[in-house]
Amino acid sequence: MAGDKSISHRALILSAMATGSSRITGLLEGTDVLATASVMQQMGAQIQRLGDGIWQVTGVGPAGLRSPEAALDFGNSGTGARLVMGVVAGAGISAEFTGDASLSARPMARVTNPLALMGAQITANEKTTLPLRLAGPPMAMPIDYVSPVASAQVKSAILLAGVNAPGQTIVRETPITRDHSENMLRLFGATVDSQMQGDQHIVTLTGEAQLRATNIDVPGDPSSAAFPMVAALCVPGSDVVLKNIMLNPQRDGLIRVLRDMGGDIEICDERRQAGERVADLRVRYSQLKAVEVAADIAPSMIDEYPALAMAAACAEGTTYMAGLHELRVKESDRLSAIADGLRANGVTVEEGEDSLSVSGCGQARVAGGGTVESRHDHRIAMSFLVLGLTSAAPIGVDDTSMIETSFPTFFSLMEELGVSFER
């Protein structure tokens, strides 16, 4: 399975900030991550591709980053843009942040607000969207921040800004979000404490951290695995093994929900890699049944709702998903993109402000026959291609080019499983 996108971004960023040379294997070579590699290079890190997924990064050490001459272009990547805002804020340098049309419509105030508290100066439009300029103070101030949104990107930006700050930078979040930044900061030698107090997750980073180069073997991306996984559950006769999938507890919500729906997903050969739990997954065709998906599981499967909605369309009964407000501000408004695409293919859907009900077709197949607007959103494109594997009539997707951002091997992997796409 292609390398995890979240871990790939963080591996490049932290190795570029560290002292010494790090070797990264299994790096996801999607355009989102390649954009992060190139902006870290613009700020002074030496980054070299040695082979397929194998990269060497020589970092600049504490306070070694320099202000880039040209604007930093993050393409479609919210993770890259938001995490690097934290890096720039903490490095005492300044940079202009730009991105494509989808990224330029996404909210950045959630990150610039706490970074301003740490001393950063932000020059932006009224909506605080890209393009914007961020100038870090000579020395960032540590903060104790209660995050108003459950977002790993916000938490990570603050922690990255806190690496060079004197004292302890604290982020409090409810509920807990993916903790890859905490795990990887520890791998690079930083002191990061993480504890639950009731339902609040409190992360404390000790500043003026001496990051030291380390080697990272990036595990497979569960968010990409979601597509062949749902395909295998929905296409009669399937029996597929997906190798080397990361099962971080803040990323495995989809597997839990699909199992509740009756999905036959076996977790085999559990092991640890790059500080994360990893396993192979054996997935077999299953007659899925509708479930209610509670809001509190959302952070552990926030990118997987498009894939889950396709499984729900194939299940018996009506699946209700709550707590989906964050889907409105992803690479597209995913709630409306899912609802429109399903309706165009004969599935009954109810779209609430932050919820979705999908009436599954069960034994009868999804009608299909519609063309889906992917809205420049990789996960919308892949989801409907997967639904098209089981629909009575084929499903068209208007543009699949964005799949390159997160899962460049999607087509070849699906073809290996026996799928043929008409292009």
Least distance CB 289 / ligand S3P (angstroms): 27
Least distance CB 129 / ligand S3P (angstroms): 14
- Cα–Cα distance, 367 to 391 (Å, whole number): 6
Q: What is the torsional sign of CA 272, 275, 280, 286?
A: positive
Angle between helix axes 109-117 and 78-91 (nearest 10 degrees) is 10
Listed residue (2, 15, 3) closest to 41, CA to CA = 15
Q: What angle do CA 187, 74, 341 make, to 5 degrees?
A: 105
Beta pairing partners, 202? 172, 195
> What amino acid is encoded at 80 in this protein?
G
Among 15, 147, 151, 164, the residue binding ligand S3P under the rule CB under 6 A is 151
Catalytic position from the list 4, 252, 303, 377? 303
**Is the Cβ of residue 100 or residue 314 nearer to ligand S3P in the bound state?**
100
225 binds ligand S3P (CB under 6 A): no
Name the segment binding ligand S3P (CB under 6 A); options: 54-62, 145-153, 273-281, 355-363: 145-153
Name the segment binding ligand S3P (CB under 6 A); options: 134-142, 150-158, 315-323, 337-345: 150-158
Are residues 335 and 302 in contact, defined by beta-carbon separation less than 8 angstroms?
no
**Is the Cβ of residue 82 or residue 361 nearer to ligand S3P in the bound state?**
82
Among 153, 244, 248, 390, the residue binding ligand S3P under the rule CB under 6 A is 153
Name the segment binding ligand S3P (CB under 6 A); options: 63-71, 152-160, 184-192, 204-212: 152-160
Query: DSSP states of 341-410 as a string?
Result: HHHTTT-EEEE-SS-EEEE--TTSPP-B--EE--TT-HHHHHHHHHHTTTSSB--EES--GGGGGT-TTH
Question: Is 303 part of the annotated catalytic residue set?
Answer: yes
Sketch the per residue contact string, 308 through 327, with ligand S3P: x for CB under 6 A, - otherwise.
Answer: ------------------x-
Strands 168-173, 144-146: pairing is parallel
**Is the Cβ of residue 305 or residue 384 nearer to ligand S3P in the bound state?**
305
Sketch the per residue contact string, 156 through 175, with ligand S3P: x for CB under 6 A, - otherwise.
Answer: x-------------------
**Is the Cβ of residue 182 or residue 303 nearer to ligand S3P in the bound state?**
303
Are residues 72 and 42 in contact, defined by beta-carbon separation less than 8 angstroms?
yes
Among 302, 311, 324, 395, the residue binding ligand S3P under the rule CB under 6 A is 302
Name the segment binding ligand S3P (CB under 6 A); options: 149-157, 205-213, 350-358, 380-388: 149-157
**Is the Cβ of residue 3 or residue 346 nearer to ligand S3P in the bound state?**
3
* Residue 327: other Cβ atoms inside 10 A: 22
Total chain residues near ligand S3P (CB under 6 A):
10
Angle between helix axes 378-387 and 305-314 (nearest 10 degrees) is 20
Among 2, 6, 114, 242, the residue binding ligand S3P under the rule CB under 6 A is 6
Among 276, 303, 304, 377, the residue binding ligand S3P under the rule CB under 6 A is 303
Listed residue (220, 219, 216, 238) closest to 229, CA to CA = 238
Least distance CB 418 / ligand S3P (angstroms): 29
Sketch the per residue contact string, 362 through 401, with ligand S3P: x for CB under 6 A, - otherwise.
Answer: ----------------------------------------
Angle between helix axes 305-314 and 334-343 (nearest 10 degrees) is 20
Take residue 28 and report the two structure tokens written for it. 């996801």
CA distance to 112, 138, 292, per residue, from 132 (Å)? 10, 19, 40
Sketch the per residue contact string, 49 through 88, with ligand S3P: x for CB under 6 A, - otherwise.
Answer: ------------------------------x---------
Residues annotated as catalytic are 303
- Chain positions contacting ligand S3P, by CB under 6 A: 6, 79, 151-153, 156, 178, 302-303, 326
